[in-house]
Amino acid sequence: MGIDEFEELKKKISKDKNFSCSQYKDPYLKRRFAIRMRATGTKSYREYMSLLNTDKEEYPILLNVLTVNVTEFFRDAPVFEEVKRVMGAMIKGKQEGKKTFARIWSAGCSNGSEAHTVAILADQILSSHVDDFKVNIYATDIDPDSIKAGREGVYKPDLLKGVNASYMKKYFTEVDGNYQVVEPIRKMITFKRNDLINEQPLRTMDMILCRNVVIYFSRELQEKLFMNFYNALNDGGYFIMGKTETLVGPAKDKFVPINNKERIYQKQAG
Ligand SMILES: C[S@@+](CC[C@H](N)C(=O)[O-])C[C@H]1O[C@@H](n2cnc3c(N)ncnc32)[C@H](O)[C@@H]1O
């Protein structure tokens, strides 16, 4: 893919949308363009520029993709109340079956705010009444910078608005005006780069959160991805998607809704 076409695409976006691409580094832009080109099946910047001319849905999606890794702790708070509830039930069920661990996947994790939120909730459940049980959280994203940020676990105060005072005190330490998640919580999470479209999904999960990610994908890819998540879950496992996202395709008839409003679904046994 030519450097000229890449420069041309940047200029086109700036001109058409008055959106300055120069605020971003080239490798970041290339990775973001690649996300949309994969999703739309366009094979060159030239082809993608033609698509931008003909498909009026594409520009808003591209601009979203360029401006987001947007995320925050306890994003959509009521979802996490429900997540805590189902996670409690899941851990109880596992313990009754003499299991000693659960596996949770934050797919499209951005800088790890969601994964750390889940880890905090798991710690709340475990430290109040569960002994000898581990919650292992896997957090993946296509963007290496996000993975690096997740591993560091240092966050600006505006990402922490949804964290209550007692959690702030227990789970964060201040570092130069930002806040780092304490080590025991960070250690619950394994961050790993993974492309949800082109790479193998993780397996044998008890809960998968894939929130505010598939909005950027074509319907066909969404359907495929939802089935991948279905297959990646153990029987009884939970799938949680973003509040503005909708379950489509064959997975829609396989998952059982647990809470439609909060977009929580379960894979039944058998
Ligand atoms: C808006 S963030 C969502 C973060 C978090 N799940 C939340 O809801 O707060 C979307 C993330 O999806 C990631 N993403 C986009 N395409 C991806 C792909 N093909 N594979 C893995 N991650 C992807 C982006 O890099 C970005 O970090």
* pLDDT tens digit sequence for 5-16: 999 999 999 889
Cα-based distances in Å from 21 to 9, 61, 67, 264: 10, 15, 10, 36
> Ligand 1 within 6 A of 142 CB?
yes
- CB–CB of 210/241 below 8 Å? yes
Instruction: Convert the pLDDT of each residue in 26-83 to its tens digit.
Output: 888 899 999 999 999 999 999 999 999 999 889 988 887 886 777 899 999 999 999 9
pLDDT at 179 over 90: yes
Which tokens sit at 3?
Answer: 């450097």
Expressed in angstroms and rounded, the spacing between residue 150 Cα and the centre of ligand 1 is 13
Among 35, 110, 138, 198, residue to substitute to test ligand 1 (most atoms within 8 Å of Cβ): 110
- CB of 213 closer than 6 angstroms to any ligand 1 atom: yes
| 70 close to ligand 1 (CB < 6 Angstrom) | yes
Atom of ligand 1 nearest to the CA of 143: 25
pLDDT at 23 (0 to 100): 64
pLDDT exceeds cutoff 70 at 173: yes
Q: How far apart are the first and last CA of the chain?
A: 47
Q: What is the pLDDT of residues 138-156, one digit of tens each?
A: 999 988 889 999 999 999 9
| Whether the CB of 195 sits within 6 Å of ligand 1 | yes
Report the predicted TM-score, pTM, of the whole model to 2 decimal places. Answer: 0.81
Domains of the chain (ranges, CATH numbers) = 3-67 (no CATH), 77-267 (3.40.50.150)
**Looking at residue 213, what is its pLDDT?**
87
pLDDT above 70 for 131: yes
| pLDDT greater than 70 at residue 216 | no
